Structures are given as structure tokens and as C-alpha cells.
Amino acid sequence: MYYSHFGLNQAPFKITPNTEFFFSGGNRGPILEALIYTITHGEGIVKVTGEVGSGKTMLCTMLQTRLPQHIETVYLAHPNVSPEEILHAIAFELQLGPARGAARLEVMHLLQDYLLKRHAEGKRVVVFVEESQSMPLATLEEIRLLSNLETRNDKLLQIVLFGQPELDDNLRRPNIRQLRERIAHSFRLEPLHAGEIHEYVMFRLRAAGYRGPDLFSDAVIKYIARASAGLTRRVNLIADKALLAAFSENTHTIKLKHVEAAVRDSEFSQHQALRVKPQLAWGAALVLAGAAIGVVVYALILHGGGNDSPAAAGAKTAPLLLEPRRPPLRLTSQPRPPGLPPFQPSPRRPLLPALQ
């Protein structure tokens, strides 16, 4: 791959959550700290919303690694289940072993006894629910009933709901009003703006071992910002493919044509005004197919020892440890400035002669 070309020791833009790559900019760091505070102080139900690919799973993963040892965590990745099933799922994760098909009341008693025991030991239990916008309303109501488990002074069970904006639509329904009123804190992961995206991509490159100068110009970053709508998962996909295209040309500069090809090759380019003509889509496919072939050819050339290692170019530059700016802690998200103008992909067909 392109790792040695850019002086990297691992993939910088994998979409699988890795806490080494947690970016605290874009208000992510303050939200993480606020979540830790609310959970450790028994603040009841907490809600975190954000668009698909905004970093909710990364935040949830980071939260689990940062919580104190006395807090036991339960992670539910697929909450599209019935009220009875979610009780059994929580009991299973806590290794309570209810009999298969046990009645709801029996499982609830098992949970209550376990939580009371943990509370007496000075411990807490928190349940993280991913994709909670997909949870049936009846199951959301069961979540509310679980939040009723408490002593005179403390909640026995903390619940954190992670979901897309549709979760807010569900919570606005009249028949779910009681749950909505139980939510103690709400947080929202906003899309990154262009300046934050520049910090984000360089932060991940540094975390992966890169020590050279900036690879992405302001014009390229602005293009990525419009194409990705500020969503980190999309930024990762675009940046990864752009690095591959640059590597295939044996250059250390990410050019606009590399990013254009990456955007056209991405599935999300069919949404949010990214309408690509068929001939352009075929062009992008050929560009990135050529990039893949170029990777193999270039690797063979390097293996033959005919070229100096391009990684040395990055190594000549003194290490720069980029730290994202951390805004002040805010327990509620503030409105963002007006967004970027609607993205219009370049009608120009990208030309990468070296890839053909």
C-alpha cells in the first residue's frame, strides 16, 4: 500500500473505530468529558445524536475506555428488538443467565437484584444503545421503565442512547413524552467545517506516523468539506482514496484531481447533490482502477531497489505533533455558522495519464 510512501506505520483513515485516532476537535472532546461526568454522577438517561458517519460509534468506544473501573458497561449494537428481548439482552450481557423464555417480570427482578448488589459494592452499570432511532416505540418505553430502577438517592442503571436525528423525531411523539422528559442531557455531534477537517486529516496522519508537511492544500480541503458534508466517515473514505491516487503517481502532493476521482468513486457521491454523469463515473472507476494497478507496479519497482524511498522525503521534515484545538466545555451544542454552499462536482473529467 501507500504506507511507506508517506512514512506511515499504519492506515490513517480506516473507518473501524480506533481510540488512537479519536479527534477531540469539532467539540468531540468536550462532549466526551461531559458524558463521563454525567455517567459518573448518575445523571439518568443521556442522548447523543448525529448524522450517519458523524462519529457516534467512535465516541461510544472512547467513552467505554475512559470510564472508571467501578462502572460496568453493557453495549447493545442492534436495538431493533421487542421490550422483552431488550431485557433479555441486557441480562445476557451482564451474565445473569435467565432461563430461555423467562417472563418479563422474572428478568426484571433478576436485573433489579443485580443492580442493587452492584450499588451496595459502590459500583454502577451503564447501558450504551447504538442506532436507537431504530428502536420500536414500545421498546423505548421499556427503556423508560428501566430508568425507574433506583434507590432513595441514586439511579441503579444509567442509559445512553446513541442515534441519528430520527431519534429526536421519535421522542417528539406524544405517546413517548414520559421518556423524553426523563432525558437529563442531550448532545449533538455536528459536522466538521473546513478548518476542522484540515485539523482532522492531519491529526490522523500524525497518529499514523506521518512527519512531513501538510499534504492537503486549502483548495483540496474545501472540496473535501463540500463533498463529505463534514461527516468524518466520508472524509476518511475520500482521504484514503486520494492518498492511493497520489501514491500511484509517485507524488507526495494530494491534488484536486486525486480528490475528485475519490469522490466520484464513492457511494455517497450519488447523494446530497453529487450527481455524476455516467461517463464521469466510468472515468473515476478507471482512474482508481489505474491507481490500484499503479500500486502493484510501483511496489515492484521499489522492491527492485531502483528508487530512493519516498518515505525519506517525509522523514526530512522535523516532527510536527498536531494537536486539535479543544473548545471550552459545553454541555449543550451551540448553533453553528451557516454551512458551506451546496456541493457541485467539477464537470471536468480527471486526467491522470500516469495511471493509464
Task: Read off the pLDDT of each residue in 20-37 and give the average, rounded to a whole number.
Answer: 97
Residues 268 and 310 in one domain: yes
Residues 229 and 319 in one domain: yes
Residues 147 and 233 in one domain: no
Residues 224 and 293 in one domain: yes
Task: Read off the pLDDT of each residue in 136-149 and give the average, rounded to a whole number.
Answer: 93
- Residues forming beta bridges with residue 128, ordered by sequence position: 75, 160
Total structural domains in the chain? 2
User: pLDDT-derived band of residue 269, with 50, 70 and 90 as boundaries?
Assistant: low
Residue 224, domain extent: 4-16+194-335
Task: Read off the pLDDT of each residue in 187-207 and give the average, rounded to a whole number.
Answer: 98
Q: Is residue 23 part of a domain?
A: no
Q: Is residue 342 part of a domain?
A: no
pLDDT of residue 27 exceeding 90: yes
Highest mean pLDDT: which of 167-181, 256-270, 337-351?
A: 167-181
Q: Is residue 341 part of a domain?
A: no
Residues 174 and 214 in one domain: no
Residues 200 and 313 in one domain: yes
Site of grid cell 473501524: 16
Residues 298 and 153 in one domain: no
Q: Is residue 350 part of a domain?
A: no
Q: Is residue 110 part of a domain?
A: yes
What CA dihedral angle connects 214, 216, 218 and 219, to 10 degrees?
A: 160
- pTM above threshold 0.85: no
C-alpha–C-alpha distance, residues 177 and 155, integer Å: 20
Q: Is residue 178 part of a domain?
A: yes
The three-state DSSP-derived secondary structure of the chain is CCCHHHCCCCCCCCCCCCHHHCCCCCCHHHHHHHHHHHHHCCCCEEEEEECCCCCHHHHHHHHHHHCCCCEEEEEECCCCCCHHHHHHHHHHHCCCCCCCCCCHHHHHHHHHHHHHHHHHCCCEEEEEECCHHHCCHHHHHHHHHHCCCECCCCECEEEEEEECCHHHHHHCCHHHHHHHHHEEEEEEECCCCHHHHHHHHHHHHHHCCCCCCCCECHHHHHHHHHHHCCCHHHHHHHHHHHHHHHHHCCCCCECHHHHHHHHHCCHHHHCCCCCCCHHHHHHHHHHHHHHHHHHHHHHHHHHCCCCCCCHHHHHCCCCCCCCCCCCCCCCCCCCCCCCCCCCCCCCCCCCCHHHC
pLDDT of residue 95 exceeding 60: yes
User: pLDDT-derived band of residue 352, with 50, 70 and 90 as boundaries?
Assistant: very low
Residues 200 and 248 in one domain: yes
Whether residue 212 contacts residue 252, with contact meaning beta carbons closer than 8 Å, is answered with yes
pLDDT of residue 284 exceeding 50: no
User: What is the residue type of 146?
Assistant: L
Q: Is residue 164 part of a domain?
A: yes
Residues 292 and 220 in one domain: yes
Residues 226 and 309 in one domain: yes
Q: Is residue 355 part of a domain?
A: no
pLDDT of residue 299 exceeding 90: no
Residues 40 and 129 in one domain: yes
Give the CATH number for residue 100.
3.40.50.300
Residues 218 and 132 in one domain: no
Average pLDDT, the chain: 81
From 149, 173, 189, give the residue that closes a domain.
Answer: 189
Q: In the sheet that 45-50 helps form, which strands lie side by side, from edge to edge? A: 71-76, 124-129, 157-163, 45-50, 183-189
